[in-house]
Amino acid sequence: MATELHNLSSYDPTLIPQGKGKRVGIVVSEWNYSVTGNLLRGAYDTLLKFGVESEDIIVEHVPGSFELTYGAKILIEKANLDSVIILGCVIQGETPHFTFVCESVTQGCTALNLQQNIPIVFGLLTTNTLDQAKARSGGRHGNKGDEAAITALKMIALQSKYN
């Protein structure tokens, strides 16, 4: 559903699985940190709200969105996690750089999901303007970080169901 029609932070809390005893990694881009910092706060606070202990939330920063998938790979290999959330923001510019970074992160996240045994959650904003990014990182459209944390909890529950 288009974001224009759906607030990213609207959900029924009774449908969200609890995260007690789960370990979640968050890899966040330093680039556009006025946006990604808000995404991080949303994801972190939502994980806490649903029972993930603060010591079980591992946060690592990487320079830009391109580095998100490698950061996720390191956490998967070294941190014994139940899920990894990647958070970044790429804003359309005048060059094809936007397309290359967005496609790379999308393909990298998909590859990690297929190669690894834990869910990797895609929390990359790909917007045309800074205003659109702000609207999706705590503004009028809610916070994509909240949505990423909820997705992580739901995917952890799905995987647990079949283990």
- Active-site residues, by number, are 97
Cβ neighbours for 22, distance < 8 A, ≥ 6 positions apart: 51, 52, 56, 82, 83, 153, 156
Residue with tokens 């909240």: 146
Which run of H or of E encompasses 127? Answer: strand 120-127
Rg (CA), the chain: 15
Partners of residue 86 on adjacent β-strands: 27, 122
Task: Report residue 124: phi and psi, to 5°.
Answer: -100, 120
Q: Is the dihedral of CA 129, 131, 137, 141 positive or negative?
A: negative
CA gap 59, 44 in Å, rounded: 9
